[in-house]
Amino acid sequence: MADDSFFLYGMGERPEALTLGSLVLEKYWQPMSARHYTHELLSDDALREHAYTTDVTNAVFYGSSRLTPAIGLEAGDIVNLRLAYNKDIERIVTAERGTRILLKDPETFLTNNVLSNETAQQKLKLWLSAAYSDFVMKFKFARRPKVWMLSGLYLLEDTRTVVSRGQSSKISAGVSSAIISAVSGVPVGGSVSLGVGSKWEMAMQVAEPHVWAAQFRLLDAKFVKIGKRGMGDISLPVSMGLYRDIMSVNTARDGSGRGVELGLQHEEDGLEQELDGELPDGEVVEDDQEGQEIEEYEKQLEAAIKHFEKAPKHFLQ
C-alpha cells in the first residue's frame, strides 16, 4: 500500500520530540537539527479531538530514494513510503505494533493551536523576517522560504531496521515477504546477501515507541506590505507582522512595515514542489547545479537569521 506523503527516517525520534503541529524551516528531512519549533505533545483527550488514529500490528515499512529503481511490492501489508534523507539507500523498518496519527483539519490546527502559541509566533517571525529581508530576497538564488508543519506521523514500537546501500542503478532487490523473512533473524550489525548487488544490513533494533515516519504540510507564507494603519490593512484571518528589515539600506521610516499572510498550501502542491527537483541531498536533482543553489540559499538564509538574532530589540521595531 502506498503512503508516499510520509517520509521514513533513518532513526526514530522520541514522541515528545516530533509532535503534531511542530514546525521545521526548510529541512523537514532533518527535523531536529534544522531550525524548528516543537509543539506541545497532545493529551489523550486533545488527540481524540484533533486527530485520527489507526493501530497497526506486524507492519512493514519500506522507503527508497528516488535514485533507487522502482520496485514491485509483492506483499499487500508492506507500506511504501518515501525515504526522507539518505540517497541511494533502501530501508525496511518492521514494527510489532504502532499507531498512524493524522490531523483531522491541519489548517484549523495551524490557526487555532500553533499560531496562537507565543513561541511558535516568535520563531516564525524571526525566520520569515530574515527570509523576506533584502539580504535574502536580492540573493541570486532567492525564492520563497519553506516552513513545514508536521501533520501526521507513525509511532512504532519494537522496531527493527535494515538497510541496503548503494545498489546498482540497474539492480533492485525489491521487497517481498521472502526478503522480510530472510532479514528478520539477522542480528544488529549483521548482514545477509540476497543475490547479486543485494546486501541488507541490520542497522538497529528499538523497543520503545518512536516516531519513524512523518507527514509535513508546507506553509503558504505570502509577503505583504503593511500601511500606516498596521495589520488593520490586512483582511485575511491569519496574518503576522514582521520585524523591520535591518539589513536594507532603504528601511521604511514612514510608519509602513512588512507582514505575511499565513495558511497551508494544498497537500498536493507542497508535495509536487518537492518532487519537482528540491528533495534533500540532491537525491532527485538531476543537475548538481540545482542542488548547489539550494545549499547556497540555505546558507544565505541562515546568515540573515543570525543577524536578526544578534540585533538589539529596538532595532527590529
Q: Are residues 138 and 243 in the same domain?
A: yes
Q: Which helix (H) or strand (E) holds 72?
A: none
Range of the domain at 59: 2-27+39-104+150-214
Q: Are residues 249 and 288 in the same domain?
A: yes
Beta strand 199-206 with 191-193 is antiparallel
CB 74, CB 175: distance < 8 Å: yes
Q: Are residues 70 and 120 in the same domain?
A: no
Note the pLDDT tens digit of each residue in 62-79.
887 543 333 333 333 566
How far is residue 73 CA from its own chain's centroid? 25
Q: Are residues 125 and 61 in the same domain?
A: no
**For 66, how many CA atoms within 13 A lie in the half-sphere containing its CB?**
17
Distance CA 74, CA 55 (A): 22
Report the number of distinct structural domains present in the chain: 2
Indicate the pTM of the whole model: 0.83
On average, the pLDDT of the chain sits at 80
Q: Are residues 52 and 22 in the same domain?
A: yes
Residue 272, classed as helix, strand or coil, is helix
Note the pLDDT tens digit of each residue in 118-154.
999 999 999 999 999 999 999 999 899 999 999 999 9
Note the pLDDT tens digit of each residue in 22-41.
999 999 988 999 999 999 99
Beta strand 51-64 with 78-83 is parallel
**What is the model's pLDDT at position 76?**
39
Q: Are residues 230 and 283 in the same domain?
A: yes
Q: Are residues 137 and 222 in the same domain?
A: yes
Residue 34 located in a structural domain = no
Confidence class for position 157, pLDDT limits 50, 70, 90: very high
CB 151, CB 103: distance < 8 Å: yes
More confident site: 129 or 166? 129
DSSP state of 41: P
Residue 141 located in a structural domain = yes
